[in-house]
Structure 1
Amino acid sequence: MTAANTAKEAVGAPYQLELMKHAQRMTWQAVERIAQGIGPGMRESEARALGQSVLEELGMQRIWHPTHIRFGSNTLKTFKERSEGDPLLGEHDIYFIDMGVVFEGHEGDAGATFVTGEDPQMHACAQAAKTLFEAVEAHWRSQRVNGVELYRFAAERAQQMGWRLNMDIKGHRVSDFPHAIYRGGNLGDFDGQPSAGLWILEIQIAHPELPYGAFYEDLLS
């Protein structure tokens, strides 16, 4: 690995892979508990408030990025874009949860998509984001490609599956808090082989015709 890429994977003295995995487990626990409390008739703002309450109950140290919970067409929004309005979740609807939380001084980052009701295309979209994530993660494990090639593979596989991958969302570094001091950049721009326990693989897809999408992310570990 080049010196530049080594610097992009730098960590602080407190960093431990097992604590990264602990932070991920706790963040996933939060995602699942929040999803259990979200239902039709709830507004996005109410879901975010629920998220904060759940995180406090789980004993988080702090959030390191704002909690994003997107309903309906807002599932097409990227991380940096604001939701349109404060929509109500419908009886047959789609939404995702995206959380960045610090536990034990380490950064958890997890996200997944959920569906209310029985709309088959929404269910297919939510499942496709997870399936694509799993395919890309398996490619990382077996081929040990760099981050650029990893997202090239992701885009090709998404097209084969009939979905559009949002290439503005290309993963990022995590570490002991705050990871920003290490300036690792996006996973999709990293030209080295990503090490375990340092990178979040993000997948955001859009339905090819309908105004919604799906999201899934987790730690490459």
Structure 2
Amino acid sequence: MTDQEPIHLFSYGTLRRSDVQMASFGRLLDGSEDALPGYRAALVEITDPMVLATSGERFHPIIEPSSSPDDEVRGTVFRITEAELRAADAYEVSDYVRERVRLKSGVDAWVYVSAANRRQAGRLESLIVAEERAFGLLDTLERAGVIAAGRTELEIERDIFTIASRDFGVREHWHDRVVRAGINALCIAGEEAPDRVVAEDDIVFLDLGPVFEGWEADVGRSYVVGNDPEKHRLVADLEIIFGLVERRFEKDRDITGAQLYAAALEEAEKRGWRFGGKIAGHLVGRFPYARSPAARDGGRISPGNPQRMRDPDPNGQPRHWILEIHLVSPDGSFGGFYERLLRRTQGV
């Protein structure tokens, strides 16, 4: 060891073996038993010939974050130098990525975790950032007063395009900017309706699909122009029902698209509304993901989708979902819409 401050490296796999340590560092490491809470272990197949020759093992353990607070991975925390940390980096294959963690003992250490999990976290984070910017666009439109009685849906849509481009740098929209007012708010996605002038007591909803840094956002929000109490109740219930359906998704890890659609209908009926959508959401991802066949084949929250929503895509990657809540009054005279990412425990 040198006189420089030691670095802590937590190992749960082959780096604990004396032969691997001698081959990688030229010495046996000093360490003590410890554990990493909130993670779980799996196995990854190794194909790198150098690593195979050093460890002699085809399958190595690998760890990823766990949704269970009771899970932990036991291993050894070693004191190493900066040069030895670089040697450990060279030993680990591309399936692993090094990150900083706090161990059960309170020691801060480096550990090698699943790179696939890190990439997945990065995808979800990018979608969340895109969504937050899209909601910022909605907030800006609201403050600008673009939604007002006497204006047409087309006029509002043109303002959305201008403000999105000028203030948010949006150059692409993965779907048309949708503005629905009054009776037009009963229409489902893709259904044509004549341009309508916003009336004094209308509900108006905006459904936006801007693309930020190559990632799709899909957000929808409803507004009441006037003081009608039932219309205000419907708009308030949109987010409440979204939360109730989201919790149904959270509780059932095997839930299918058809089952979550049925849950949306049930929660709407409990609060006295009809569910107005033929679907209750869809997949979203890196543009143009939502337009691709992959997003249509089992990619909708609908009565015709028996697939489990947490099943991975054909490339083995977790999928991410938009949840749509479209409510209609019992007499079919008005409706409203709300959508955003289904964030709770997405992925596998």
Select between 95-104 and 145-154 the one with higher mean Cα deviation. 145-154
Structure 2 CA distance, aligned partners of 1:128 and 1:22? Answer: 25
Query: Partner letter of residue 187 of structure 2?
Result: K
Using structure 2 for the length normalisation, give the TM-score. Answer: 0.56
Aligned to 1:187: 301
Once the 2 structures are TM-superposed, how far is the Cα of residue 202 of structure 1 from its aligned partner?
Answer: 0.8
Alpha-carbon distance in structure 1 between the residues aligned to 2:310 and 2:193: 31
Shift of 1:187: 2.3
**CA contact 2:180–2:204 (8 Å) conserved in 1:** yes
Paired AA for residue 250 in structure 2: R
SS in 1 for 2:174: strand
Which of the numbers 128, 132, 143 marks the counterpart of 1:21?
128
User: Structure 1 residue 197: deviation in Å?
Assistant: 6.4
Q: Does 1:130 align with 2:239?
A: yes
Larger Rg: 2
**Partners in 1 of 2:277 and 2:196 — Cα distance?**
26
- Within the alignment, does 1:219 sit opposite 2:341 as a pair? yes
Match of 1:80 in 2: 190
For residue 8 of structure 1, what is the aligned residue in structure 2? none
CA distance in 1, matches of 2:178, 2:277: 19
Query: How does 1:130-149 map onto structure 2 within 5 Å?
Result: 130-144=239-253, 145-149=255-259
**Other-structure match for 1:203:** 325
Instruction: For 1:208 and 1:33, locate their aligned partners in 2 and report how far apart those are by CA, in whole Å.
Output: 32
Tell me the C-alpha RMSD between the 2 structures: 2.0
Q: Quote the residue 2:202 is aligned against.
A: 93
Q: Conserved in 2, the CA contact under 8 Å of 1:70 and 1:96?
A: yes
Q: Cα 1:197–1:119, aligned 2, differ >3 Å: closer, same or farther? A: farther
Check whether the contact 2:322–2:341 (CA below 8 A) recurs between aligned residues: yes
Q: 1:194 to 1:218 in 2, by over 3 A?
A: farther
Q: Which residue matches 2:86?
A: none
Which of 139, 157, 161 does residue 267 from structure 2 map onto? 157
The SS at the match of 2:216 is strand
What's the offset of the Cα at 1:46? Answer: 0.6
> TM-score, normalised to structure 1's length?
0.87
The unaligned stretches of length 5 or more in structure 1 are 1-11
Give deviations 1:2-52, integer Å, cap 9, x for gaps. Answer: xxxxxxxxxx99x72211111101111112222332111111111001110
Q: 1:197 and 1:23 mapped to 2: Cα distance? A: 16
**Is there any run of 5+ residues in structure 2 with no aligned partner, and where?**
1-118, 312-317, 344-348
SS across alignment from 1:128: helix
Select 2:175's aligned residue among 46, 49, 65: 65
Quote the Cα distance in structure 2 between the aligned partners of 1:200 and 1:171.
Answer: 5
* Contact 1:169-1:203 within 8 A present in 2 as well: no
Partner of 1:107: 216
SS at match of 1:65: coil
Aligned mates of 1:95, 1:17 — CA distance in 2: 30
1:45-103 CA deviation, whole Å, 9 max, x = no partner? 1100111012102112310000101010000001111123x222122221100011110
Residue range with higher mean Cα deviation, 93-102 or 160-169: 160-169
Equivalent residue for 2:162, pick from 34, 50, 53: 53
Amino acid of the structure 2 residue aligned with 1:213? G
Q: Deviations over 1:94-127 (max 9, x none)?
A: 1100011110110000001110121101101111
Q: Which residue of 1 aligns with 2:39?
A: none
**Structure 1 stretch displaced more, 199-208 or 141-150:** 141-150
Match of 2:161, as an amino acid? Q
SS of structure 2 residue aligned to 1:187: coil
Is the Cα contact below 8 Å between 1:35 and 1:114 reproduced in 2? no
Q: Which residue of 1 aligns with 2:15?
A: none
Deviations 1:196-219 (A, max 9, x none): 761111111110015110111111
User: Relative contact order, CA 8 A, sep 6+: which one is greater?
Assistant: 1
CA distance, structure 1, for counterparts of residue 276 and residue 332 of structure 2: 15
* Equivalenced residues, count: 208
Q: Percent identity?
A: 32
1:24-35 matches, within 5 Å, as 24-35=131-142
